[in-house]
């Protein structure tokens, strides 16, 4: 059974307290839906840019945004495809986050990998052979992951450990996310796409546990600013072979690095969110308090389109169409939305006048 080896140092304890302080501060800010939607989209674009840049993608932040909006660049087809695939994986990540079940499924991680690699929403099987990580300059092997025959069991143990810790463990959530990232990268269950999938897994763990920070943070930029420090922190043990030292290796340095990056990223977002909330001319917090969590989520759809459908609500909330229809009926009666049309297939909804100022 997977059992990570680490120590909780005074420095790490301080980082955990800083993370918690930022989390509490951001959760209490009266951020309007329009500002929140803007900050979330900005975070998604930043994550897409830096997570793919870490793997060698050559597109700039501005070019990534252009590609997501349909733009193209000469001789950058591979880079464009990587960006689109990662952005699509983030969409699927959102659906996983919105599911009420706290547990993380191994199949979901495999599906994230499928989207990252070829935009297919289909679980990809683990590698069937040996892979190695080489120094890009010298070609020397710097890490040899476990044999293919051991990957399935190791991944099963990792997911079991994550869920046990999230459900009734005593480790702080940032540490669980750090260890999940490390162990996935250590197992290296695929020939390619391991880093991007590990970072998506990290985000899933954080969001499922109340550390999603409203979806407006990005850890990838912290890694990308100093890739050498990122890879060095992931390197554990004297041997490059998984079976000689890495299994029992002390990962305190990695956990400290990860939590330091989280504290740094959360502090930056805390400041940015605070500035955004202060710049708003009208405080809409009194109106937002009248809405439940699902209604607040649906506001993001109205911020993009005047009319929305039951299907769009179903996909956004991650619920069955029948459930979405029942919610719409309830919201129509309560004055949250205006209904247009009677037939289920052609019916659409408009936001009631009272709530338009939230957009």
pLDDT of 304 strictly over 90? no
More confident site: 240 or 187: 187
Residue 289 confidence (pLDDT):
80
Residue 278 confidence (pLDDT):
66
pLDDT tens track for 263-294: 999 998 888 877 776 665 555 667 778 888 88
106 vs 113, 123, 184, CA distance in Å?
A: 11, 9, 12
Q: Mind listing the domains of the chain with CATH numbers?
A: 10-277 (1.10.3290.10), 285-358 (1.10.10.10)
Mean pLDDT of the chain: 89
- For 76-225, strand residue ranges (E) read 133-134, 141-143
d(CA 337, CA 350): 6
Residue 175 confidence (pLDDT):
96
Q: Best-predicted range by mean pLDDT among 20-34, 226-240, 262-276, 325-339?
A: 325-339
pLDDT of 321 strictly over 80? yes
Residue 292 confidence (pLDDT):
87
Residue 134 confidence (pLDDT):
85
pLDDT tens track for 1-60: 788 999 999 999 999 999 999 999 888 877 777 778 888 888 899 999 999 999 999 999
Q: Which residues, 6 or more positions from 144, have their beta carbon under 8 angstroms from its beta carbon? A: 130, 132, 133, 240, 241, 242
The model carries a pTM of: 0.77
Q: Residue 234 — very low, low, confident or very high, per pLDDT cuts 50/70/90?
A: confident
16 close to 174: Cβ distance less than 8 angstroms: yes
pLDDT of 346 strictly over 80? no
Residue 102 confidence (pLDDT):
75
pLDDT of 85 strictly over 90? yes
């Amino acid at each position: 059974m997977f059992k990570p080896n680490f120590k909780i140092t005074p420095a790490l304890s301080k980082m955990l307290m800083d993370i918690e302080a930022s989390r509490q501060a951001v959760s209490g800010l009266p951020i309007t839906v329009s500002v929140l939607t803007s900050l979330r989209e900005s975070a998604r674009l930043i994550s897409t840019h830096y997570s793919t840049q870490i793997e060698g993608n050559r597109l700039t932040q501005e070019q990534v945004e252009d590609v997501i909006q349909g733009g193209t660049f000469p001789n950058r087809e591979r880079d464009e495809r990587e960006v689109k695939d990662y952005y699509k994986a983030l969409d699927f990540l959102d659906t996983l986050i919105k599911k009420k079940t706290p547990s993380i499924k191994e199949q979901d991680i495999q599906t994230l990998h499928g989207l990252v690699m070829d935009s297919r929403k289909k679980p990809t099987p683990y590698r069937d052979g040996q892979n190695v990580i080489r120094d890009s300059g010298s070609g020397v092997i710097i890490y040899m992951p476990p044999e293919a025959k051991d990957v399935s069991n190791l991944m099963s143990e990792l997911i079991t450990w994550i869920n046990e810790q999230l459900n009734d463990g005593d480790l702080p959530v940032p540490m669980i996310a750090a260890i999940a990232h490390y162990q996935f990268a250590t197992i290296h269950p695929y020939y390619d796409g391991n880093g991007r999938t590990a970072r998506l897994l990290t985000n899933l763990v954080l969001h499922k546990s109340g550390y999603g920070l409203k979806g407006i943070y990005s850890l990838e930029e912290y890694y990308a600013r100093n890739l050498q420090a990122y890879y060095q922190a992931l390197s554990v043990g004297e041997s490059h072979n998984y079976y000689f030292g890495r299994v029992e290796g002390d990962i305190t340095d990695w956990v400290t690095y990860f939590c330091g990056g989280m504290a740094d990223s959360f502090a930056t977002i805390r400041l940015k969110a605070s500035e955004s909330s202060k710049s708003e001319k009208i405080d809409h917090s009194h109106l937002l308090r009248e809405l439940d969590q699902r209604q607040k989520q649906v506001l993001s759809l109205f911020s993009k389109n005047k009319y929305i459908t039951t299907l769009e609500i179903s996909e956004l909330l991650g619920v069955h169409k029948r459930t979405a229809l029942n919610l719409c009926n309830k919201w129509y009666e309560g004055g949250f939305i205006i209904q247009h049309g009677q037939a289920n297939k052609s019916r659409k909804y408009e936001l009631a006048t009272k709530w338009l100022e939230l957009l």
